[in-house]
Every structure is written in structure tokens, then in C-alpha cells.
Structure 1
Amino acid sequence: MARLQSVDTLRGITIIAMILVNNPGSWSHVYAPLLHAEWHGLTPTDLIFPFFLFIVGISISLAYNNKTPDKNTYKKILTRSLKLIGLGLFINVITPIPPFIEDLETVRILGVLQRIGIVFFFSSIMFLNLNKKGIIVSVAIILIGYYLLTGFIPLPNGALPTFNNSPNNWAIYIDNLLLGKHMWQPTYDPEGILSTIPSVATCLLGVLTGKILTSENTIKKKVTQLVYFSLFLLATGYIWNIWFPINKSIWSSSFVLTTAGWATLILGFTYYLNDLKKLNTPKFIGNVSKNAITVYFLSMILSKFFYAIKINNNYNLHSWLFDTIFAPLSDLKLASFAYAASVVGFYLYLAYFLFKKKIFLKV
């Protein structure tokens, strides 16, 4: 199936938002919507990563529709998954400071690209081997099973589980047990082991949405189906939030449904504008979408280098640029946002350059 401009629009906006929230001038001065919720809750920033996994699911539906689940297809899926995991590990391990690798005793193992690779692998296999009903049942089993485990099954020490940020949270317990010092935070990892399981459900909901897009229905009817599906997901997610709080760090079942609901609703809007009304998305969004993983990967590497390269005893390259160019603005939150916007501008130009040179780096 040909590329859908609406999907490119959502993907491009998601990558741009990722870069914006990951690169403030100062983490001490950030507008609240550009920060993750401290634990329970949902901010616009919390939508970004699940949106990307949701789009991965749509892409699976588009790319593997009518594909034969044979050895060659499985090999391609495995290869792509390993590439994504490898890129994520490279981000974690590489450093510009000699000996040019992080301390392997404490280096983070998991991360955004690693989760994308793992989720892509399992979601693709399930898409190729399950029909629509099978995928729906799988999503239900994952979400209900995760809720029952994390909410009701006692931990090995006999303690009752909790959804709070504590050692008695199943997701945190598993991460500490299996990852130890190799986590993003001392006590937990937001892309941890157990929470990766419900993130597969996020991708599978994208797969189901992709099935709507690839159906034989008219575009107008597809828009209606997307809206109804989004309202169902949102209602179910927000109701479940009463018992299983919306939480990105542990990727709660209510978080899966709510974020997929918002992604479906926004996709329905872009599908209506781009594919029904034939309104073109600004080209800079499409350029980013066509090299999404490349742009994200480079943004993470360069950001890490900017923090690691020292200018003097008081500054790294990042803080020096912020204090020299942006901090003179009277409002430090505005200055921090301006820095992030300038970083976004740089990657928009990079995406434009890659597009003009017809360079499309596929993972």
C-alpha cells in the first residue's frame, strides 16, 4: 500500500515533539506541558513515545499487509529489530570522552530504540500469524494480565504489590532484580523489562488502526471508524484509571488505552485533512517522517556529546551555548524553550538536506 500522508504527518510531528522535549536549555526551567508527569498522570510529553509505538503498529499493517509469513520475512523482521536494539545500545555506550565508552558496570542497557526494536519484533510476528480477532484477544490478555499481576499478585517477599514508585511495584522489582545498576534511574527504568510487555499492546492497537486504514471502506467511513475507535479507547482508559492509574513509567494498561485513544483521534483528524480533503502537510514534517529513526538517533547522539564535551570547569558545550546565547532573555523558561526550538530547527534543516539529496536511511 502506498504511503499515507496522514501517517507521515503524525510520525513527523511525533519526532519533532521528541526532539523538542529532550533538548531544553535548562532542565530547571521547563514549561510544565514539556515535562513528564512525576509519576501518575498524563502530560502532552507522555504521549510522544506511545504515539511512536502506535505508528510502528500502523506501519506494520501497511508494510506487511498480504505478506507471506515465511523464512525470508521473519529474517527481515529479526534483522530490523536487532538494528534498532543495536542503535539504542550504541547511544548508551558511546561517549566523546576517552576511552570513548561508558562504564560498562553501570551503563544503561534498555532505552527508547531498544524498546521499539523489541516491540516491533513481537508485534510483527503476531500480525503475520493472527487475524483481527486474535490480535484483539492478545491485547486484552496483555492488558488484563498486566493489571492482575501488578495489582494483585504478592511479590516474592510476600509484600502486596503497589502502583507507586516503590520497591513493591512489580515493574520496579523486576528491573532491580534483572537490570541492577544498568538502569536510567537508580531505582527504575521507564523502558524497563516488565513494562515492555504492555507496550506491545500499544503497538498492536496501532496494528488494529492500520487494519482500518487498509480496509476496503471509503475514506469517509474510515474517518468515522477512527473517531469511534478513539472514543472507545479513551473512555475505557480513563475509566480504568480509577483502579489502575495512568502511568508512563510502568506503562499501565490505562496508559496504553488512553494514549492509543489520543493517537487514533489525532490520526483521524490528519486522515480527514490529508486523505479526504487532500490538504498537504507542511513539507518539513514529511521530511522528518521519511528519515524518522535517523533524525531521532542523531539528535540523541549529538545531545549526549553536547553534555559530555567540557568547555571549562564550569561549562559543558550545552550549558555554555544556553548561558551565552539564550539565558540573557529575561524569562528563563522562555530561554530554555528557545534553545529547544533552535535544536528542532537544526534537525528540520538536516531532514530537508537528506530529502533534497534523496538520502533515505532505512533501519
Structure 2
Amino acid sequence: MKNRVESVDILRGLTIVAMILVNNPGSWSHIYPPLRHAQWHGLTPTDLIFPFFLVIVGISISYAYKNKENTWSTYKKITVRSLKLIGLGLFLSLFLPYWPFFKDFESLRFPGVLQRIGIVFFVSAILFLNFNWKQLLGIAITILIGYWLFLGFVPLPDGSAPTFDRAPNNWANYIDLNVLGKHMWQKDYDPEGIISTLPAIASTISGILIGKILALQELKKTMYLLTTGVALLIVGYIWSFWFPLNKAIWSSSFVLVTSGWATVILALVYYITDVKKINGGNIFKYVGTNAITIFFLSGFIAKTFYGTKIGENLNIHTWLYQTFYTSWISIDKLASLLYALTVVLFFLALGYTMYKKKIFIKV
């Protein structure tokens, strides 16, 4: 963005930092409840992180492509960026920190966070170039209602009634299992699965529409954002009585509620940073300007630490955790959290260094 919106960079960085925090505990067996995903239905602070990032992707699209011509060159750039994101995600899934350095194809997980970002960015950017805000709103509403009706009311091929539960007769699980087979995160479902990518596109469209609000010339942007966010929360929570909040299948109510929280928090950050000019969140801005690069490196380093052995029974991760944390901290969850916070501090320092040296890696 030529004239960057400070609050968007800060919220992007804060979201990446939160991703790193929840993805890097000292022990997966000892995690405080707010830092875990809901087991199935429900919503924890951790469940907000990924949809927040997709909302920010939408906001970025509304700024980056608002003056772009609808040409082959623009489509080419969108396609290349999407393929880069998908390629990085597949690389992380395949990578091993030891010979032969890549997993067998049979054990490759096709979906993933970066893969979903790449797909929804591609679709949402194309939609943005071809439709106005009213049409985009209509597309998002159609996706959310259509997804609810399909998952909740269309019988499966064997004639059984569909369900929203973690079960074979959940359409999202059924499609993933029959199309992806073994190439999923779990044996019975994948949180970044095939059909659940559709409502994830609606999350990104919500970000595009929020970006339209930020582009307004009026001085009451904070109030517009707060009003929009509260409206999304009310509708989303009401809808959850019939279509439960669920990140694993990215339910329509989940889209509205998470977009609502993202908008409310953005409104607060916008008021503090862009209106009142209080720069307390700069440390997150440094990460936000290299968000994908830092997120990728966090995954790459974590996988290297888990996969590189020290002796017969330890890897780098376990050695660090036992040597510097559990050796003197008796509360397991606290030790695990402090390890994660140390990882966060490392990447905050990396983001600061890259920003100060004007290193901005565009993916």
C-alpha cells in the first residue's frame, strides 16, 4: 500500500505473533486452554487467529488492487503470488531436516494454512477486480447461506441425514475423506479442507468490504467499523444456534463472528494508532510488514528443531525445553508457555531487524 494504514500492519503483525505463540508450545501436552483450538464446536481465542489473517488479506486486496486494471498482467501477478503461497505450504508439509529431506508422497498433507491463504487470495482478488462492493456482499451472503443449507439439509449419497458433528456424515468431512484420502491432517477431517475453503473466501470478502470502510474520507471510520463489527457479532452468534461456531468446518456463523471480532479489534487499533497517533504497537508493525516470511520461517525452524536429533532420545526442541525451562520451572503449563513466548520474542526481534534494514520480502 502506498499510504499504509498503520492499524492494518499492526493487526497483521499481532495476528502472526499469535500464530507463532500457539504453534510453538514447549509441550503439546501442557497448554493453557485459551491457547488451544476448540475440540469441535465452540470458539477459543486461538480459533480467532487464522480468520483474522484472512480478513486482513481481504483488506490488503482492497488497497493493493483498487487502482489495478483488469488486465492479463494483473491476473498473472495474482496467479504467481497464489502459486508461491501454495508452494511454500506444500514445501513445509514435505520438508524433512534430514536425508532424503522430503517425505514420501503418500504421507503428504495437501491442505494447509499457506495453501488456503493462496487459494482464497486468488479467488478473492479476482472477484474484487470484477465486482463492486454490493455484488461482493451478495456473493459472500450467497456462499454463507448456501454452505449452511448444503451441510445441514442435503442428504449424503447413501441417503443418510447430514450432521455438523465430527462424523462421516458431515459433508465437509465426507468430501475431504473421499477426495483427499490419507492426505489430511487427521484421519477423519482436515481444518483446511476442500469445501470449507468456500466460507473462508467469504471471510476474505468481509475483509475487502472492511477495507472499503477504511478507504472512506469521512472522519467517523472508527464508529463505522465498530458498528459493522457489532452487527456481524450479533448476526453470527444468533445464527450459531442453528449452525454452530466451528473452525474445523469453517461454519457460516464462525465466519460472521470471527469477522466481527476482527473488525471490532481493528476499530480499536485504528483509533489508537491512526486517529490518536499513539505508536505503542510498532513492534507488531515490524512483523506485519514481513508477515508471510516470518510465519514461514517459524514453521521451518520449528520443524527443523523437532526433526533434528541430539543423541538417541532427544531432538533440539526437547533439549532446549528441558534444559532452559522444565529444569527450573515446576509448573508444566507455565514452562510450556514461556518457551512459546521465547520463540515469539525471537521473531519479534527478527521482524524489527528486517524492518530497520529495510528488508521487505514480497511473497
TM range (shorter): over 0.9
Q: What are the Cα deviations for residues 321-346 of structure 1, in whole angstroms up to 9, with x where unaligned?
A: 11111112011100000000000111
The more displaced of 199-208 and 325-334 is 325-334
Taking every aligned residue pair, what percent have the same amino acid on both sides?
59
Q: What are the Cα deviations for residues 258-295 of structure 1, in whole angstroms up to 9, with x where unaligned?
A: 00000000000011111111111333211101110000
Q: TM-score when scaled to structure 1? A: 0.98
Alignment of 1:245-284 (within 5 A): 245-284=244-283
| Aligned-partner residue type, residue 344 of structure 1 | V
Decide whether the 8 Å contact of 1:9 with 1:281 is kept in 2. no
Q: What are the Cα deviations for residues 160-188 of structure 1, in whole angstroms up to 9, with x where unaligned?
A: 11100011111100111111011111111
Residue number in structure 2 paired with 1:104: 105
The more displaced of 349-358 and 259-268 is 349-358
Shift of 1:313: 3.0
Shift of 1:19: 0.3
| 2-structure distance, mates of 1:317, 1:157 | 49
Q: TM-score when scaled to structure 2? A: 0.98
| 2-structure distance, mates of 1:282, 1:142 | 35
SS at match of 2:107: coil
Residue number in structure 2 paired with 1:44: 45
Runs of 5+ unmatched residues, structure 1: none
| Aligned-partner residue type, residue 361 of structure 2 | L
Residue number in structure 2 paired with 1:230: 229
Q: Is residue 292 of structure 1 aligned with residue 291 of structure 2? A: yes
| Aligned-partner residue type, residue 137 of structure 2 | I
Q: How many residues end up aligned between the 2 structures?
A: 361
| Aligned-partner residue type, residue 314 of structure 1 | N
Decide whether the 8 Å contact of 2:10 with 2:282 is kept in 1. no
| 1-structure distance, mates of 2:45, 2:59 | 21
| 2-structure distance, mates of 1:38, 1:311 | 33
Q: What are the Cα deviations for residues 76-123 of structure 1, in whole angstroms up to 9, with x where unaligned?
A: 111110110010011001111211101211210110000000000000
Residue number in structure 1 paired with 2:198: 197
| 2-structure distance, mates of 1:89, 1:71 | 26
Residue number in structure 2 paired with 1:160: 161
Q: What are the Cα deviations for residues 134-191 of structure 1, in whole angstroms up to 9, with x where unaligned?
A: 0110011000000000000011111111100011111100111111011111111100
Shift of 1:356: 2.3
| Aligned-partner residue type, residue 316 of structure 2 | L
| 2-structure distance, mates of 1:225, 1:193 | 34
The more displaced of 199-208 and 302-311 is 302-311
Q: CA RMSD in A?
A: 0.9
| Aligned-partner residue type, residue 191 of structure 2 | P
Shift of 1:297: 0.2
Decide whether the 8 Å contact of 2:89 with 2:114 is kept in 1. yes
Residue number in structure 1 paired with 2:28: 27
Decide whether the 8 Å contact of 1:172 with 1:188 is kept in 2. yes
| 2-structure distance, mates of 1:39, 1:144 | 21
Q: Is residue 76 of structure 1 aligned with residue 77 of structure 2? A: yes
| Aligned-partner residue type, residue 338 of structure 2 | A
| 2-structure distance, mates of 1:116, 1:4 | 21
Q: What are the Cα deviations for residues 230-249 of structure 1, in whole angstroms up to 9, with x where unaligned?
A: 01100010000000000000
SS at match of 2:310: coil
